[in-house]
Homo-oligomer: A and B are copies of this chain.
Amino acid sequence: MQSDEPEDEVGAAGTSVDASRGQRRNGAATIYDVAERAGVAPSTVSRALSKPGRISAATEAKIRAAAEELNFRFNPMARALHTGRTQTIALVLADITNPVVFGIIRGAEKAASAEGYTLIIAESQESGDVEAAAVSRILPSVDGLVLATSRLASDRIRDIAVEKPVVLINRAVDDVAAILPNVSQGVTALLDHLDELGHRSLAYLSGPQVSWMSERRWENLLEGAESRGMGLVEIGPNVPTIEGGRAALRRVLAARVTAAVAFNDLIAIGLMKAAAESDVDVPNRLSVTGFDDIFGSELVVPALTTVRSELELAGQRAVEHLLAGLAGRTPEATDALSAELVIRMSTAAPAEPAVVG
């Protein structure tokens, strides 16, 4: 039964003890408030606002008007409780301060908000333990997750994938979806370039031991170097930061190579900084290259020759893939992202003929 209270004055009337249902402590209106104002049942409000067509146009209009007046918003938690869908996905990163992730974040954020999803960002600070803790903390409140540059063991990743949908970036694990760059394409272009310049002996400055991508790059380099008859040594593992690259100079010089291929741009930049301080001429005495083409790589002098990854696209694709799966659509096949060699000033022909042992 409908009461005859002047509903326009609930505000004034509500100044009494509790004004039950009229105006809640939190200030936010609920479907019950809307239902009362529109003179229908709460369930009808729920349907009118989220099941288009289920309710007659006239009633729906009345409900929408009431919702509008009350500035009603669905409570995402209440909705999630029953449906199990939080409309939220997580992006887990090894290191937020590494410029490689900017593109990934931006791409992911765009793709997520385009579908009305909210993005949560968690950082593992290059530690598998921290990453595991972060993941288990946010797992219950997300619908799925994107693991970029994960430092987790493959088994652990599979465990997570059992609980919630997972998409990996720059990492491959059996039975888990992944967005990967075309490593061999990039490495081939890089080796062709170095070969053409006349380099015969290279060093690879590897990344963290747990980095899947560092391993892949090494494998491709090894294969390519062999087939071209080039010498190749691995120097590492290195911390994937400017400091890490800086610390590697001595070993690079000791290796007597004419070119150094760094696992990523940060290491390459650090190496160049250290070289400059030690009066080692880059690129003439030593050519240096990186991977990723991060912000800063074209700023540094000499500007860095590097293999560009489509990071923003990777973030976007990862989220789209995840969301497609969540929506029940079968995600389109994930072809590898193209890797393009960007030739700048940090590579040149070696000054003297390579010393062949």
Contacts and interface: CB of A to CB of B under 8 A. Distances in A.
Interface of A: 25-28, 73-78, 80-81, 84, 86, 88, 96-97, 99, 102-103, 105-106, 109, 113, 116, 118-123, 134, 136-141, 163, 269, 273, 295-296, 299-301
Contact of A109 (B99, B121, B136, B301): B121
B113 A102 contact: no
Copies in the complex: 2
A73 to B, nearest CB: 5
A10 B99 CA distance: 50
Contacts of A269: 299
B106 A123 contact: yes
B96 A141 contact: no
A118 B78 CA distance: 19
A77 B73 contact: no
A121 B92 CA distance: 12
A118 B123 CA distance: 11
Given A77-B141, A81-B78, A137-B118, A96 B105 contact: yes
The 9 closest A-B pairs by CB, nearest first: A301-B301, A77-B80, A296-B296, A76-B141, A299-B300, A77-B77, A77-B81, A121-B121, A97-B102
Most buried by B among A88, A105, A269, A299: A299
B96 A102 contact: yes
Nearest to A28: B140
